[in-house]
Structure 1
Amino acid sequence: MLWAARAQRTVSKDDDTATALGVRLGRVRLGLATLGIVLAAMATGAAGPVDFVALLAPQIARRMTRTAQIPLLCSALTGAFIVVAADLLARKAFAPTELPVGVLTAAVGAPYLIYLLLTSGGRGRSSRNGGTTA
């Protein structure tokens, strides 16, 4: 992690500056990408595939804050709450058997995503003639 922090600081500058500082951009970028992949794989291996959280959290945060622009922190906290609540429910609701968290988030997330798709009704699509179709 210390290497990644140092490498990220030098790579965050423009390519010419980083090269002038002696950074091998190809190796550093490959190393950072590999580290990100390994960390994501470890998290997925520990928690299992947690489906639909990335789709649910921003939508729920948007409805809670009632704004079009939702901050990343609000969305992240909503996602964390969803995962913790799903984990507790998966452990306690079906007492002798523990469900994986991904099963519960998929069971709740899929119908909610379908509901969002059905109720959006074309919002978000813009046309030049005032919203009517030709």
Structure 2
Amino acid sequence: ATFPTVDRDFPFMTEQQHLNGGSLLNFAHADWVGRRRMLQPVFTRQQISRLSDQMLTIASDCVREWGSAPEVDLDRDCRRITMRVLGRSIMAFEPDQDTDALVEPMRRISAYIAARGRAPVKLPRWVPTPAR
């Protein structure tokens, strides 16, 4: 079957690729197809079932950590859950505080990408700005 291609040449994807490198999220179709086929075995029905069990365990652990906390940083915790799920299920390592250390840099990178993607004028990257 032939599927329509997705145009990934827009500001958010360009900035994301510049900061994080190429990925299935931002590759043009020709580069995307081969990488998608390479990763496809990870996403079989059996693998997804196994991943969903791990996702549920990780999310439940996070909710349990909230306990009776008066305040919860949902943005931080969703990013932490994401890093733990990726670590355990896709990259096959046991996540710990090292993955938690990536949460704040991920948030800052995402905020920078969003701000630069929305900016009406894109200054060259070499121009110093408060965000850099």
Asked if TM exceeds 0.5, the reply is no
Q: Greater helix share, 1 or 2?
A: 1
Which protein shows a greater Rg?
Answer: 1
Return the structure number with greater relative CO, CA threshold 8 A, min gap 6. 2
Q: What's the TM-score, normalizing by structure 2?
A: 0.28
